[in-house]
Amino acid sequence: MYDAVTNNLLIREWLNGSLFPLCGNLAFIILVFLLHSYRYRDQLSWWKMPGVPTGCALFWVFSMETVRAGWIWWILREHNDGHPVEDWVREISNYSFIFAATMLAAMILRCTYLWSPPRWRKFFWQYSAISTLVFLLISHYS
Average pLDDT over residues 73-81: 90
Residue 16 has pLDDT above 60, yes or no: yes
Residue 97 has pLDDT above 70, yes or no: yes
Total of domains in the chain: 1
E strands in the chain: none
Contact 113, 125 (CB under 8 A): yes
Q: How far apart are CA 25 and CA 37, in angstroms?
A: 18
pLDDT of residue 53: 94
Q: pLDDT grade, residue 139 (50/70/90)?
A: very high
Q: How far apart are CA 100 and CA 102, in angstroms?
A: 5
pTM of the model: 0.84
Q: pLDDT grade, residue 7 (50/70/90)?
A: low
Q: List the domain range (segments joined by +) for residue 118.
A: 2-141
